Amino acid sequence: MTNILLTGSSRGIGAAIRKQLQARGATVIGHASRAHDADTIGADLADASAPEELWQAALERSGGTLDVLINNAGLFSATPLDSTDDDWLAGWEDTVRVNLTSAAQLSRFAVRHWQERGVPGRIVHIASRAGHRGDSPAHWHYAAAKGGMLAMHKTIARAYAKESILSFAITPGFTDTAMAGDYLSSRGGPGLLADIPLGRVAEPEEIATIATFCALDAPPSMTGATLDANGASYVR
Ligand SMILES: NC(=O)c1ccc[n+]([C@@H]2O[C@H](COP(=O)([O-])OP(=O)(O)OC[C@H]3O[C@@H](n4cnc5c(N)ncnc54)[C@H](OP(=O)(O)O)[C@@H]3O)[C@@H](O)[C@H]2O)c1
Protein backbone atom coordinates (compact mmCIF):
# COMPACT_ATOMS: atom_id res chain seq x y z
CA MET A 1 0.00 0.00 0.00
CA THR A 2 1.36 3.41 -0.96
CA ASN A 3 0.68 6.24 1.49
CA ILE A 4 0.54 9.64 -0.16
CA LEU A 5 0.29 13.11 1.37
CA LEU A 6 -1.41 15.34 -1.20
CA THR A 7 -1.67 19.06 -0.42
CA GLY A 8 -4.53 21.11 -1.83
CA SER A 9 -6.75 18.08 -2.45
CA SER A 10 -10.10 19.83 -1.91
CA ARG A 11 -10.71 21.05 -5.46
CA GLY A 12 -9.27 21.63 -8.92
CA ILE A 13 -6.16 19.69 -9.89
CA GLY A 14 -5.72 18.29 -6.36
CA ALA A 15 -9.21 16.75 -6.30
CA ALA A 16 -8.56 15.11 -9.69
CA ILE A 17 -5.21 13.74 -8.49
CA ARG A 18 -6.84 12.34 -5.37
CA LYS A 19 -9.49 10.54 -7.39
CA GLN A 20 -7.00 8.94 -9.77
CA LEU A 21 -4.63 7.86 -6.99
CA GLN A 22 -7.47 6.31 -5.01
CA ALA A 23 -8.62 4.46 -8.14
CA ARG A 24 -5.12 2.94 -8.26
CA GLY A 25 -5.46 1.72 -4.66
CA ALA A 26 -3.21 4.29 -2.99
CA THR A 27 -4.04 5.68 0.44
CA VAL A 28 -4.35 9.43 0.01
CA ILE A 29 -4.06 11.73 2.99
CA GLY A 30 -5.75 14.89 1.80
CA HIS A 31 -5.12 18.46 2.84
CA ALA A 32 -6.64 21.91 2.34
CA SER A 33 -6.67 25.27 4.13
CA ARG A 34 -9.39 23.83 6.38
CA ALA A 35 -10.75 20.34 7.04
CA HIS A 36 -13.53 20.26 4.40
CA ASP A 37 -14.25 16.59 5.24
CA ALA A 38 -13.04 13.80 7.53
CA ASP A 39 -10.35 12.70 5.02
CA THR A 40 -8.82 16.16 4.79
CA ILE A 41 -6.33 17.70 7.22
CA GLY A 42 -6.85 21.44 7.58
CA ALA A 43 -3.66 23.55 7.68
CA ASP A 44 -3.28 27.12 6.42
CA LEU A 45 0.09 27.07 4.66
CA ALA A 46 0.35 30.86 5.03
CA ASP A 47 1.24 30.05 8.63
CA ALA A 48 4.93 29.13 9.08
CA SER A 49 4.17 26.39 11.64
CA ALA A 50 1.47 24.71 9.50
CA PRO A 51 3.74 22.42 7.40
CA GLU A 52 5.18 20.74 10.48
CA GLU A 53 1.73 20.28 12.02
CA LEU A 54 0.45 18.92 8.71
CA TRP A 55 3.36 16.49 8.35
CA GLN A 56 2.88 15.16 11.89
CA ALA A 57 -0.89 14.82 11.45
CA ALA A 58 -0.35 13.01 8.14
CA LEU A 59 2.10 10.58 9.77
CA GLU A 60 -0.43 9.85 12.50
CA ARG A 61 -3.15 9.13 9.95
CA SER A 62 -0.90 6.92 7.83
CA GLY A 63 0.34 4.79 10.72
CA GLY A 64 3.80 6.34 10.68
CA THR A 65 4.87 5.86 7.07
CA LEU A 66 4.51 8.19 4.09
CA ASP A 67 5.85 7.07 0.70
CA VAL A 68 5.00 10.01 -1.56
CA LEU A 69 4.54 13.76 -1.06
CA ILE A 70 2.66 15.76 -3.68
CA ASN A 71 3.14 19.52 -3.31
CA ASN A 72 0.00 20.73 -5.09
CA ALA A 73 -1.58 23.44 -2.88
CA GLY A 74 -1.19 26.86 -4.44
CA LEU A 75 -2.35 30.45 -4.31
CA PHE A 76 -2.84 32.63 -7.41
CA SER A 77 -3.63 36.11 -6.16
CA ALA A 78 -2.97 39.37 -8.02
CA THR A 79 -0.74 42.02 -6.45
CA PRO A 80 -0.74 45.04 -8.78
CA LEU A 81 2.50 46.99 -9.09
CA ASP A 82 0.76 50.18 -7.94
CA SER A 83 -0.37 48.64 -4.62
CA THR A 84 0.98 50.37 -1.52
CA ASP A 85 4.50 49.24 -0.62
CA ASP A 86 3.18 47.36 2.39
CA ASP A 87 0.46 45.61 0.39
CA TRP A 88 2.86 44.65 -2.39
CA LEU A 89 5.31 43.15 0.09
CA ALA A 90 2.54 41.35 2.00
CA GLY A 91 1.26 39.88 -1.29
CA TRP A 92 4.78 38.75 -2.22
CA GLU A 93 5.40 37.11 1.16
CA ASP A 94 2.04 35.36 1.25
CA THR A 95 2.37 33.90 -2.26
CA VAL A 96 5.98 32.83 -1.79
CA ARG A 97 5.18 31.22 1.58
CA VAL A 98 2.14 29.26 0.35
CA ASN A 99 3.58 28.29 -3.07
CA LEU A 100 7.25 27.72 -2.27
CA THR A 101 8.33 27.91 1.39
CA SER A 102 5.68 25.49 2.66
CA ALA A 103 6.52 23.04 -0.15
CA ALA A 104 10.19 23.29 0.84
CA GLN A 105 9.38 22.63 4.50
CA LEU A 106 7.27 19.58 3.62
CA SER A 107 9.90 18.30 1.17
CA ARG A 108 12.55 18.56 3.90
CA PHE A 109 10.40 16.58 6.35
CA ALA A 110 9.81 13.95 3.66
CA VAL A 111 13.48 13.58 2.70
CA ARG A 112 14.51 13.25 6.36
CA HIS A 113 11.70 10.74 7.01
CA TRP A 114 12.97 8.50 4.18
CA GLN A 115 16.64 8.96 5.06
CA GLU A 116 16.07 8.03 8.71
CA ARG A 117 14.35 4.82 7.65
CA GLY A 118 16.65 4.06 4.72
CA VAL A 119 13.61 3.69 2.41
CA PRO A 120 12.79 5.09 -1.05
CA GLY A 121 10.44 8.03 -1.50
CA ARG A 122 9.02 10.30 -4.18
CA ILE A 123 8.10 13.96 -4.31
CA VAL A 124 5.88 15.40 -7.05
CA HIS A 125 5.84 19.19 -7.33
CA ILE A 126 2.97 20.89 -9.14
CA ALA A 127 4.79 23.96 -10.42
CA SER A 128 3.63 26.02 -13.42
CA ARG A 129 4.48 27.16 -16.92
CA ALA A 130 4.96 30.52 -15.17
CA GLY A 131 8.11 29.09 -13.58
CA HIS A 132 9.68 28.92 -17.06
CA ARG A 133 7.98 31.78 -18.86
CA GLY A 134 7.03 34.35 -16.19
CA ASP A 135 3.51 35.60 -15.53
CA SER A 136 1.41 38.76 -15.61
CA PRO A 137 2.68 42.08 -14.15
CA ALA A 138 0.53 41.47 -11.07
CA HIS A 139 2.07 38.02 -10.51
CA TRP A 140 5.83 38.50 -10.12
CA HIS A 141 5.53 36.54 -6.87
CA TYR A 142 3.69 33.59 -8.43
CA ALA A 143 6.24 33.18 -11.24
CA ALA A 144 9.15 33.57 -8.82
CA ALA A 145 7.70 30.99 -6.43
CA LYS A 146 7.13 28.45 -9.21
CA GLY A 147 10.60 29.08 -10.69
CA GLY A 148 12.01 28.56 -7.20
CA MET A 149 10.07 25.33 -6.90
CA LEU A 150 11.66 24.04 -10.11
CA ALA A 151 15.15 24.89 -8.85
CA MET A 152 14.41 23.20 -5.51
CA HIS A 153 13.07 20.12 -7.32
CA LYS A 154 16.26 19.76 -9.37
CA THR A 155 18.38 20.13 -6.25
CA ILE A 156 16.42 17.40 -4.43
CA ALA A 157 16.60 15.07 -7.44
CA ARG A 158 20.36 15.43 -7.77
CA ALA A 159 21.11 15.29 -4.05
CA TYR A 160 19.19 12.16 -3.05
CA ALA A 161 18.88 9.96 -6.15
CA LYS A 162 21.52 7.60 -4.74
CA GLU A 163 19.20 7.01 -1.76
CA SER A 164 16.25 6.25 -4.11
CA ILE A 165 14.58 9.52 -3.13
CA LEU A 166 13.13 10.81 -6.40
CA SER A 167 11.74 14.17 -7.44
CA PHE A 168 9.44 15.04 -10.36
CA ALA A 169 7.93 18.37 -11.38
CA ILE A 170 4.91 19.17 -13.54
CA THR A 171 4.47 22.56 -15.20
CA PRO A 172 0.84 23.01 -16.29
CA GLY A 173 -0.29 25.88 -18.45
CA PHE A 174 -3.84 27.18 -17.94
CA THR A 175 -5.94 24.43 -16.46
CA ASP A 176 -9.70 24.50 -16.20
CA THR A 177 -10.14 25.17 -12.46
CA ALA A 178 -11.35 28.11 -10.41
CA MET A 179 -7.79 29.40 -10.47
CA ALA A 180 -7.68 29.46 -14.27
CA GLY A 181 -11.18 30.95 -14.47
CA ASP A 182 -10.07 33.88 -12.35
CA TYR A 183 -6.99 34.28 -14.47
CA LEU A 184 -8.77 34.11 -17.81
CA SER A 185 -11.36 36.68 -16.76
CA SER A 186 -8.67 38.93 -15.30
CA ARG A 187 -6.70 38.81 -18.58
CA GLY A 188 -9.52 39.42 -21.04
CA GLY A 189 -11.23 36.04 -21.26
CA PRO A 190 -11.21 33.54 -24.09
CA GLY A 191 -8.98 35.70 -26.34
CA LEU A 192 -6.11 34.25 -24.38
CA LEU A 193 -6.84 30.85 -25.90
CA ALA A 194 -5.43 32.15 -29.17
CA ASP A 195 -1.99 31.69 -27.57
CA ILE A 196 -2.56 27.96 -27.10
CA PRO A 197 -2.00 25.90 -30.27
CA LEU A 198 -4.12 23.08 -28.85
CA GLY A 199 -7.02 25.56 -28.77
CA ARG A 200 -8.12 24.87 -25.21
CA VAL A 201 -6.85 24.93 -21.65
CA ALA A 202 -5.86 21.68 -19.92
CA GLU A 203 -8.35 19.62 -17.92
CA PRO A 204 -7.49 18.85 -14.28
CA GLU A 205 -7.73 15.14 -15.15
CA GLU A 206 -4.88 15.53 -17.65
CA ILE A 207 -2.60 16.99 -14.99
CA ALA A 208 -3.77 14.28 -12.57
CA THR A 209 -2.78 11.58 -15.07
CA ILE A 210 0.77 12.97 -15.17
CA ALA A 211 0.92 13.36 -11.37
CA THR A 212 -0.30 9.79 -10.83
CA PHE A 213 2.34 8.52 -13.27
CA CYS A 214 5.06 10.43 -11.40
CA ALA A 215 3.84 9.26 -7.99
CA LEU A 216 3.42 5.57 -8.82
CA ASP A 217 4.93 4.59 -12.16
CA ALA A 218 7.72 6.82 -13.42
CA PRO A 219 10.99 4.90 -13.74
CA PRO A 220 13.73 6.05 -11.35
CA SER A 221 15.89 7.24 -14.25
CA MET A 222 13.30 9.98 -14.81
CA THR A 223 14.11 11.68 -11.51
CA GLY A 224 14.82 15.36 -12.00
CA ALA A 225 12.43 15.61 -14.96
CA THR A 226 10.04 18.51 -15.45
CA LEU A 227 6.94 17.56 -17.45
CA ASP A 228 5.17 20.33 -19.39
CA ALA A 229 1.40 20.28 -20.00
CA ASN A 230 0.50 23.49 -21.78
CA GLY A 231 -1.02 22.68 -25.18
CA ALA A 232 2.30 23.72 -26.83
CA SER A 233 1.83 27.32 -25.62
CA TYR A 234 5.38 27.21 -24.30
CA VAL A 235 7.66 24.73 -26.01
CA ARG A 236 11.13 24.40 -24.54
N1 LIG B 1 -5.20 26.09 -12.68
C2 LIG B 1 -4.18 26.48 -13.41
O3 LIG B 1 -4.32 27.10 -14.47
C4 LIG B 1 -2.79 26.14 -12.96
C5 LIG B 1 -1.76 26.32 -13.88
C6 LIG B 1 -0.46 26.01 -13.50
C7 LIG B 1 -0.21 25.53 -12.24
N8 LIG B 1 -1.23 25.38 -11.36
C9 LIG B 1 -0.88 24.91 -10.03
O10 LIG B 1 -1.60 23.73 -9.72
C11 LIG B 1 -1.88 23.67 -8.33
C12 LIG B 1 -3.38 23.45 -8.10
O13 LIG B 1 -4.05 24.51 -8.75
P14 LIG B 1 -5.66 24.55 -8.91
O15 LIG B 1 -5.91 25.34 -10.13
O16 LIG B 1 -6.21 23.18 -8.78
O17 LIG B 1 -6.03 25.45 -7.64
P18 LIG B 1 -7.44 25.67 -6.88
O19 LIG B 1 -8.56 25.03 -7.61
O20 LIG B 1 -7.48 27.12 -6.57
O21 LIG B 1 -7.19 24.86 -5.51
C22 LIG B 1 -6.14 25.26 -4.69
C23 LIG B 1 -5.91 24.22 -3.61
O24 LIG B 1 -4.85 24.70 -2.75
C25 LIG B 1 -5.37 24.88 -1.44
N26 LIG B 1 -4.82 26.10 -0.84
C27 LIG B 1 -4.80 27.34 -1.36
N28 LIG B 1 -4.25 28.21 -0.48
C29 LIG B 1 -3.95 27.49 0.64
C30 LIG B 1 -3.40 27.80 1.92
N31 LIG B 1 -3.06 29.06 2.28
N32 LIG B 1 -3.25 26.80 2.82
C33 LIG B 1 -3.61 25.54 2.52
N34 LIG B 1 -4.14 25.18 1.33
C35 LIG B 1 -4.30 26.14 0.40
C36 LIG B 1 -6.89 25.02 -1.58
O37 LIG B 1 -7.53 24.66 -0.37
P38 LIG B 1 -8.99 25.30 0.00
O39 LIG B 1 -10.01 24.60 -0.85
O40 LIG B 1 -9.16 25.02 1.47
O41 LIG B 1 -8.90 26.76 -0.29
C42 LIG B 1 -7.14 24.03 -2.72
O43 LIG B 1 -7.19 22.71 -2.23
C44 LIG B 1 -1.35 24.97 -7.73
O45 LIG B 1 -0.08 24.78 -7.17
C46 LIG B 1 -1.26 25.88 -8.94
O47 LIG B 1 -0.30 26.90 -8.77
C48 LIG B 1 -2.52 25.66 -11.69
pLDDT band at 180 (very low <50, low <70, confident <90, very high): low
Q: 217 CA to middle of ligand 1, Å? A: 24
Quick: pLDDT tens for 189-224: 667 788 999 999 999 999 999 999 999 999 999 999
In the sheet that 3-6 helps form, which strands lie side by side, from edge to edge?
A: 40-42, 27-32, 3-6, 68-71, 121-126, 165-172, 226-229
Catalytic residues: 142
Tell me the whole-structure pTM to 2 decimals. Answer: 0.97
CATH of domain 3-229: 3.40.50.720
Q: 164 CA to middle of ligand 1, Å? A: 28
pLDDT of 179 over the 90 cut: no
- Return the amino acid letter for 46: A
pLDDT of 8 over the 70 cut: yes
- What separation in angstroms does the CA of 183 have from each of 58, 76, 125, 131, 186? 32, 8, 21, 16, 5
Q: 85 CA to middle of ligand 1, Å? A: 26
* CB < 8 Å & 24+ apart, contacts of 53-61: 54/5, 54/7, 54/106, 55/5, 55/106, 55/109, 55/110, 58/5, 58/29, 58/31, 59/113, 61/29
Nearest residue (by CA) to ligand 1, atom 29, is 33
Q: Does the CB atom of residue 143 touch ligand 1 within 6 A?
A: no
Quick: pLDDT tens for 138-178: 999 999 999 999 999 999 999 999 999 999 999 999 998 87
Ligand 1 atom nearest residue 76's Cα: 47
Q: What does the pLDDT average to over 65-71? A: 99
Q: Does the CB atom of residue 174 touch ligand 1 within 6 A?
A: yes
Domain boundaries along the sequence of the chain: 3-229
Nearest residue (by CA) to ligand 1, atom 33, is 33
d(CA 91, CA 33): 17
- pLDDT averaged over the chain? 96
Q: What does the pLDDT average to over 108-123? A: 98
